[in-house]
Structure 1
Amino acid sequence: MKESWHVAGLGGVDPHDDARAVRAWRWMQWALLAFSLLAIPAFYFELAVAAWFHPVGRALYACMSAGFVVVLARVTCLSRKPERFLTRNGYDVLIAAGAGISVAGGMPPWSPLEWVLRIFFVGLVAARIVLSLRGFFSPGRLWLLLVTAVLLLASAGAGFYWLEPGVHTYAEGVWLAFESSATVGYGDMAPTTPASRVFAAFVVLLGYGLLSLFFASIAANFVEQEERILRREMHRDIKALRDEIAALRNDIQTRGGDTPVAAVAVDPVNPAPSHPGESH
């Protein structure tokens, strides 16, 4: 990975490390992404009104923490420099510790300090998810961005339908999700509970980012088409220039072959040229 990710604690495995560790990390990082996704439902299960949701949220946090620990421990055992690997991936170590602490956290309603800590932890996890998927969100994958945006809108609609008392249907939840992600804010609907407001904050951040990437990808496609036309014209001009150079070369060679050259006979004994009728 780039040096900036190494400094941020997301350095992965050193390319010069043991080959088994490099191969294992290639697959294990997707397992970490899957475990990271558990933090989102876990956070909101603990905010649910029904008490039986709370143990489910803690169980998801426990699975997340155990998954991170197992993956990091596995790659650490394969690495030739385990301390260096853990240092390069301090961000994941922090997430594993935060998920473990969340299991032992207090029950809602949370204190202001616990609210701040939990939101900070979910923000860390959300940033890790985005960074893990950064390779997929390229300008050439417009369809993937569109599918992701639709899934996010559908999931956010369900989240608002579940968390916000003022949303009475799933369609209203989708509409509130669209208003939030597009930062339109018509004012007809708004989050009112702490849970739905925190959820709206993440929907705004993720939705605005996806919309920006989507429209940037469309613009990049237009620019790419213009560049493709310019490249074709440039290749056509280069080919024409090569043909002209080849024609000039052939013309020069042809003119050089038509020029008469006087034949001179040289006597091997007497180097002086011999002329017809000259007596020796």
Structure 2
Amino acid sequence: MNNQSFPRVIGLAGVDRNETSAALKYSARLEWPMVMMAIWIVIEWYLQAKGAVPARFVLVTDWVIWGFFLFETVLLTSLVRNKPYYLIGNWVNLVIIVLGFPVLWEEFPAAGVLRSLRLIVMAGILIHISSTARRILARNHLGTTLLVGFIITVMAGFLIAGLDPAIETPWDGIWWAWVTVTTVGYGDVVPVSTEGRLFASFLILMGIGIFSMLTASFSAFFVSRDEKMVIQREQQILAKLELIEMRLHKMEKEISYVAKTQQKAAKETPP
């Protein structure tokens, strides 16, 4: 299975690169709002797990999140040429819209577990981030690379705080995620539950990737800077060589003229 078919199978394909310019433009504009929405979904999930927010507030945010998914799906579907292809490749959005209807949760309280479906969007964000990260590394956008790592760290901090009883607050979770992603591992905050350790294993692997990404990005930045300096020096050397070449050519002309003049004078002088 190639890199293009895998996102389609899991329902997170996005807009195909061969689609209309309008669809690609609005898909790019909605990418960062979707990242913010994913972060908020994690925060809301944590607050609700700890019972820190009233039910009315959760209901309002449920409607806002559901409306955002509906708006994005309807807008992009209307802009793409191949609508069935887009909807099949993004079937997770349809599942979230249908099963994530807030009224359904009000009528059937047991259906509240379907809120967890919205966490699937995080996988889509990570997929889009990974493809964006490759473009970032190619262009040496260090600031954006750091922002990607920061977003993943914050999301992981909230998730581990809701999953593991040993990590009580999101701040402790973010601290744990930070030392884990950077491969420092102080050990002052550690997960103790099975779910927490499984998530930690996943974050450790991701941390290695993020750390490698940052190292490669910084290396590429300094290498590109050195390459620019080398190119500038080469251009200066080439300019000097061209100047020397012009002077040599001028000297050759002068020597040739003098030689011809002497030969002419020698012929005209009587023996």
**C-alpha distance 120-64 of structure 1, shift in aligned 2 (>3 A):** closer
Which AA in structure 1 matches 2:241? L
Please state how far the C-alpha of 1:187 moved relative to its aligned partner.
4.5
CA contact (8 A) 1:182 1:211 kept: yes
1:121 aligns with 2:125: no
**C-alpha distance 36-14 of structure 1, shift in aligned 2 (>3 A):** farther
Q: Secondary structure at the match of 2:166?
A: coil
CA contact (8 A) 1:139 1:216 kept: no
Which AA in structure 1 matches 2:14? L
1:20-31 paired onto structure 2 within 5 Å: 20-21=22-23, 23-31=25-33
1:117-156 paired onto structure 2 within 5 Å: 121=120, 124-131=123-130, 133-134=132-133, 135-136=135-136, 140-146=140-146, 149=149, 153=153, 156=156
CA contact (8 A) 2:69 2:93 kept: yes
**C-alpha distance 182-119 of structure 1, shift in aligned 2 (>3 A):** farther
1:238 aligns with 2:235: no
Cα distance in 1, alignment partners of residues 124 and 249 from structure 2:
66
1:14 aligns with 2:18: yes
Residue by residue, what CA displacement relative to the aligned partner does 1:224-261 show, whole Å, maximum 9, x if unpaired? 23323322332233222212221222123323444249
Cα distance in 2, alignment partners of residues 198 and 118 from structure 1:
19
Cα distance in 2, alignment partners of residues 232 and 213 from structure 1:
28
**C-alpha distance 4-28 of structure 1, shift in aligned 2 (>3 A):** same
TM-score (norm 2): 0.64
**C-alpha distance 4-151 of structure 1, shift in aligned 2 (>3 A):** closer
Q: Secondary structure at the match of 1:190?
A: coil
Cα distance in 1, alignment partners of residues 146 and 22 from structure 2:
36
Please state how far the C-alpha of 1:98 moved relative to its aligned partner.
4.0
**C-alpha distance 149-243 of structure 1, shift in aligned 2 (>3 A):** same
- Aligned residue for 1:268? none
CA contact (8 A) 1:163 1:195 kept: yes
RMSD: 4.5
CA contact (8 A) 1:161 1:172 kept: yes
TM-score (norm 1): 0.62
Cα distance in 1, alignment partners of residues 58 and 195 from structure 2:
14
- Aligned residue for 1:273? none
CA contact (8 A) 2:41 2:118 kept: no
Please state how far the C-alpha of 1:96 moved relative to its aligned partner.
1.0
Cα distance in 1, alignment partners of residues 37 and 175 from structure 2:
29
Cα distance in 2, alignment partners of residues 45 and 60 from structure 1:
12
Q: Secondary structure at the match of 1:77?
A: helix
Please state how far the C-alpha of 1:223 moved relative to its aligned partner.
1.7
Structure with greater Cα Rg: 1
**C-alpha distance 122-75 of structure 1, shift in aligned 2 (>3 A):** closer
**C-alpha distance 257-227 of structure 1, shift in aligned 2 (>3 A):** same
- Aligned residue for 1:40? 42
Q: Secondary structure at the match of 1:165?
A: coil
- Aligned residue for 1:218? 218
Which AA in structure 2 matches 1:236? Q
- Aligned residue for 2:269? none
Please state how far the C-alpha of 1:124 moved relative to its aligned partner.
2.5
- Aligned residue for 2:85? 87
Which AA in structure 1 matches 2:42? I
CA contact (8 A) 1:65 1:96 kept: no
CA contact (8 A) 1:153 1:178 kept: yes
Amino-acid identity (%): 17
**C-alpha distance 99-4 of structure 1, shift in aligned 2 (>3 A):** same
**C-alpha distance 89-181 of structure 1, shift in aligned 2 (>3 A):** farther
1:69 aligns with 2:70: yes
CA contact (8 A) 2:161 2:173 kept: yes
1:97 aligns with 2:94: yes
**C-alpha distance 29-160 of structure 1, shift in aligned 2 (>3 A):** closer
Please state how far the C-alpha of 1:133 moved relative to its aligned partner.
4.7
Cα distance in 1, alignment partners of residues 161 and 218 from structure 2:
31
Cα distance in 1, alignment partners of residues 172 and 39 from structure 2:
25
